Amino acid sequence: MKQFSTLLLKEWRENLRNYKIFWIPVVFILLGVTEPLSNYYLPQILDATGGLPDGAVIELPDPEPEQLLVAVMGQFQLIGMLVLVLAYMGSIAGERRNGTATLLYVRPLSYVSYFLSKWLMASIVALISVWAGFLAGYYYTAVLFSAVPFGEFLAFAATYSLWMVLVVTLILFASASMPNAGLAAGLTLAALLILQLVDSLFGNRWEWSPLKLPNYAASFLDIGPDAAALTWTFAISLACLIGLAALGIWFMKRNRAKTKV
Amino acid sequence: MNVLEVRSLSKRFGTEQAVDGLGFELAEGSATALIGPNGAGKTTTLSMLAGLLEATAGEIQRKKNLSIGFLPQYPRFFPWLTALEFTEMAAKLSGVDSKKARQQAERTLGFVGLGQVANKKIGGFSGGMKQRLGLAQAMVHQPSLLLLDEPISSLDPTGRREVMELLKSLLGQTTILYSTHILNDAEEMTDQLLFLQNGRLVEHGSLNQVRSRYADPQIRIRFENTNAAERFGRESPWPAAIQGTAAIIPIKAEGPIMQDVFRFLSVKSLPVVGVEQQTASLEDIFLKVVAGK
């Protein structure tokens, strides 16, 4: 516990002094704001880019506010996730490779504490980012179009938060198990892409899958997800999270000999 | 009383035998110098003793509750931490009480000469400052064994002197095992010498023991001019090597002793500038050991 707080302080200082705790949320806020703004100003944008041919009549239906929030989530799924991967891919592998880990690994270090301190800090940054981004999107959608019921919004953002924490756990697992940051990023992105592809191709055969978390999050804005399916998905997601963290800790310890001396 | 005993310690990387059947002991409060050419296995040995690497075979017996401080050859730090923050974290992670950790970190930084820059970010430190900080993090928790990989090689002469004095002041309470290329300094601070070559311990013992094995003491006579040296070479009854204005006579069991040389020189009334008996320096011994005796 003492080691955990010492290491968490180190992670906090790193994220603060490398400005990660500022720039990552800013990216998410920009993603959250862009969606409602670009929809609201779509006629002006079309004009500015040359306008429509004379005589063309186009009806632009106001987008539903729910659609805008789901679109924001789509941005998070692509750009947001990429940002988190790039920010944390070297969290463990990088320290091992540049040799900064050596001076910690020679001490009676608790690898559980070390992994969890990194996991907690990265999760906090990811959660701040997701909530700041969603709240910004929610606010501009409400001002420019109409408001989504706040209760639905909370359920939506909370469910998506679990997904993001799971992604952070995957990134740290990859960073612990792979020899360098680039391979860790590769493993994370490949795993996410392949699993999402599999789930979208064959996903109609099962309802319980961590990969469906974003879908279930979105359905809170609609008719709401099936309670049983959601509960099981939560349970399986938590099991995956714990499993990935445990494997990550194991790999971190096993790979300590690969630290550059 | 030994703090550490090593028996037939071996480490293999793939097909390469980095360390091969090493055995030695570290007596409490002593200084041991680990020397050998590049790639001899010094860093690998220290890494195993520090617990970073698993040995392929053999055993390392540590004294109960032995606390170790380790300084790698190129210590790397988090550039966004200050020296004090890093040293305090190092102390806490080594089990120092949270309240004492800061105090101990401050004292240690002062001890290694970084008191003035304790609150500066490590990112702006010079190589020498990082080396001192490396020493600080290794000793902040007051370990009973210090493992130092080339602690002084990257320092300037002043820094080298300061760090050597500092390490000497620790001896007695602290056992030190260090590798080095600076043989002059090893000569100055060593109770035990370990010569490593190709992963094997090729020579060990106290400095005097090793010296007497490789000593080949010699008498070196310097003359005023080369003519005198050459004349000495022709006329002296001993096998002298002539190097410019100097003549060098190896002292073997059957060879001359000083008095014989003086007598001969005065009889011949050769213009002598100086006569001295030389013992082999650690550097000479090193070269001999490495060349295979």
Q: In what order do the strands lie in the sheet with B16-27?
A: B16-27, B2-13, B57-62
- Burial code (b: 16+ CB inside 10 Å, e: under 16) for B103-116 equals ebbbebbebbbbee
Q: Find all residues with CB under 8 Å of A190, minimum gap 6, and list them.
A: none
Q: What per-residue confidence (pLDDT) applies to B208?
A: 82
Residues from chain A that touch B68, judged by Cβ atoms under 8 A, are 106
Band of the pLDDT at A244, cuts 50, 70, 90? very high
Find, in chain A, the residue whose alpha carbon is nearest to that of B97: A2
The mean per-residue pLDDT over the stretch A70-83 comes to 95
Angstrom distance (rounded) from CA B91 to CA B226: 63
Q: What's chain B's average pLDDT?
A: 89
Find, in chain A, the residue whose alpha carbon is nearest to that of B121: A17
Q: What per-residue confidence (pLDDT) applies to B251?
A: 76
Q: What per-residue confidence (pLDDT) applies to A62?
A: 78
Structure tokens at B119: 């609150």
Q: What per-residue confidence (pLDDT) applies to B187?
A: 83
Cα-based torsion angle of the residue sequence B194, B195, B197, B200 in order, rounded to the nearest 10 degrees: -40
Angstrom distance (rounded) from CA A39 to CA A146: 13
Of residues A199 and A245, more confidence is placed in: A245
Dump pLDDT digits (tens) for A123-156. 999 999 999 999 999 999 999 999 999 999 999 9
- Overall residue count recorded for chain B in this entry: 293
Q: Does residue B20 sit at the A interface (CB-CB below 8 Å)?
A: no
Model pTM above 0.90? no
Chain A residues near any Cβ of chain B (below 8 Å): 2-3, 6-7, 9-10, 13-14, 17-18, 98-100, 102-109, 256-257, 259-261
Is A99's CB within 8 Å of B76's CB? yes
CB-closest option in A13, A107, A256 to B81: A13
Of residues B220 and A122, more confidence is placed in: A122
- Output phi, psi for B202, to 5 deg: -95, -15
Residues from chain B that touch A10, judged by Cβ atoms under 8 A, are 78, 81, 89
Secondary structure in 3-state letters for A115-165: HHHHHHHHHHHHHHHHHHHHHHHHHHHHHHCCCCCHHHHHHHHHHHHHHHH
Dump pLDDT digits (tens) for B102-145. 999 999 999 999 999 999 999 999 999 999 999 999 999 999 99
The mean per-residue pLDDT over the stretch A159-171 comes to 97
Is B76's CB within 8 Å of A9's CB? no
CA B267 to each of CA A193, B220, B235, B251, B264: distance values in angstroms, whole numbers, following the listed order:
96, 18, 12, 21, 5
Is B80's CB within 8 Å of A105's CB? no
Residues from chain B that touch A118, judged by Cβ atoms under 8 A, are none
Angstrom distance (rounded) from CA B29 to CA B177: 10
Three-class secondary structure of residue B248 per DSSP: strand
Q: What per-residue confidence (pLDDT) applies to B255?
A: 58
Q: Which residues sit opposite B243 in a β-bridge?
A: B246
Q: What per-residue confidence (pLDDT) applies to B238?
A: 81
Q: What per-residue confidence (pLDDT) applies to B270?
A: 85
Residues from chain A that touch B52, judged by Cβ atoms under 8 A, are 102, 105-106, 256-257, 259, 261
Q: What per-residue confidence (pLDDT) applies to A93?
A: 95
List, as one string, the DSSP characters of A170-207: HHHHHHHHSSSHHHHHHHHHHHHHHHHHHHHHHGGG-S
Q: Is the pLDDT of residue B289 over 90?
A: no
Q: What per-residue confidence (pLDDT) applies to B72?
A: 94
Q: Which long-range contacts (CB under 8 A, 24 or more apart) does A187-196 make?
A: A188/A85, A188/A89, A189/A82, A189/A85, A192/A81, A192/A167
Residues from chain B that touch A109, judged by Cβ atoms under 8 A, are 93
Q: What per-residue confidence (pLDDT) applies to B135?
A: 95
**Total Cβ atoms within 10 A of residue B27:** 14
Q: What per-residue confidence (pLDDT) applies to B253?
A: 59
The mean per-residue pLDDT over the stretch B19-39 comes to 92
State the nearest Cα–Cα gap between B265 and chain A, in angstroms: 57
Of the residues A103, A104, A110, A255, the best mutation for testing chain B's interface (the one with the most B CB atoms within 10 Å of its CB) is A103
Residues from chain B that touch A256, judged by Cβ atoms under 8 A, are 52
Q: What per-residue confidence (pLDDT) applies to B184?
A: 79
Q: What per-residue confidence (pLDDT) applies to A1?
A: 73
List every span in chain B annotated with CATH 3.40.50.300: 2-212
Structure tokens at A53: 């041919």
Of the residues B78, B96, B120, B139, the best mutation for testing chain A's interface (the one with the most A CB atoms within 10 Å of its CB) is B78
Residues from chain B that touch A261, judged by Cβ atoms under 8 A, are 43, 47, 52, 72-73, 149
The fraction of chain A above a pLDDT of 70, given in percent, is: 100
First-to-last C-alpha distance (Å) of chain B: 32
The fraction of chain A above a pLDDT of 90, given in percent, is: 79
Q: Distance between alpha carbon A168 and the CA centroid of its chain, in Å?
A: 7
List, as one string, the DSSP characters of B130-169: HHHHHHHHHHTT--SEEEEESSSTTS-HHHHHHHHHHHHH
Dump pLDDT digits (tens) for B190-243. 899 999 999 999 888 888 888 777 767 788 889 998 888 888 888 888 888 888
CB-closest option in B50, B76, B78 to A14: B78
The mean per-residue pLDDT over the stretch B19-27 comes to 93
Helix residue spans in chain B (DSSP H) = 42-50, 83-93, 98-111, 127-139, 157-170, 183-188, 207-214, 226-235, 258-268, 282-290
Of residues B154 and A51, more confidence is placed in: B154
Backbone dihedral region for residue B41 (phi beyond 0: left; psi -120 to 50: alpha; all else: beta): left
Task: Tell me which fold the domain B214-290 belongs to.
Answer: Alpha-Beta Plaits (3.30.70)
Q: Is the pLDDT of residue B293 over 60?
A: no
A to B CB pairs, distance under 8 Å: 65
Three-class secondary structure of residue A62 per DSSP: coil
- Burial code (b: 16+ CB inside 10 Å, e: under 16) for A169-182 equals bbbbbbbbbbebbe
Residues from chain B that touch A99, judged by Cβ atoms under 8 A, are 72, 74-76
Q: Which residues sit opposite B82 in a β-bridge?
A: B121
Tell me whether strands B192-197 and B31-35 are parallel, antiparallel or unpaired. parallel
Tell me whether strands B68-71 and B145-149 are parallel, antiparallel or unpaired. parallel
CATH tag, B2-212: 3.40.50.300
Three-class secondary structure of residue A83 per DSSP: helix
Dump pLDDT digits (tens) for B247-264. 888 776 555 677 888 888
Q: What per-residue confidence (pLDDT) applies to B93?
A: 95
Of the residues B76, B125, B145, the best mutation for testing chain A's interface (the one with the most A CB atoms within 10 Å of its CB) is B76
Dump pLDDT digits (tens) for A93-119. 999 999 999 999 999 999 999 999 999
Q: Is the pLDDT of residue A230 over 80?
A: yes
**Total Cβ atoms within 10 A of residue B267:** 8
Q: What per-residue confidence (pLDDT) applies to A203?
A: 83
Residues from chain B that touch A102, judged by Cβ atoms under 8 A, are 52, 72, 75-76
Q: Does residue B99 sit at the A interface (CB-CB below 8 Å)?
A: no
The mean per-residue pLDDT over the stretch A77-98 comes to 95
CB contact at 8 A, B141 and B67: yes
Backbone dihedral region for residue B19 (phi beyond 0: left; psi -120 to 50: alpha; all else: beta): beta
Angstrom distance (rounded) from CA B226 to CA B67: 60
Q: What per-residue confidence (pLDDT) applies to A224?
A: 83
Is B93's CB within 8 Å of A7's CB? yes
Q: What per-residue confidence (pLDDT) applies to A42?
A: 84
Is B77's CB within 8 Å of A98's CB? no
Q: For residue A111, which of A9, A247, A261 has the smallest C-alpha distance?
A: A247
Neighbouring C-alpha atoms within 13 Å toward the C-beta of B130: 20
Residues from chain A that touch B136, judged by Cβ atoms under 8 A, are none
Neighbouring C-alpha atoms within 13 Å toward the C-beta of B66: 25
Q: Is the pLDDT of residue A227 over 70?
A: yes
CA B181 to each of CA A215, A238, B69, B149: distance values in angstroms, whole numbers, following the listed order:
63, 54, 21, 10
Q: What per-residue confidence (pLDDT) applies to A260?
A: 83
Dump pLDDT digits (tens) for A19-70. 999 999 999 999 999 999 999 988 888 888 777 777 777 777 778 899 999 9
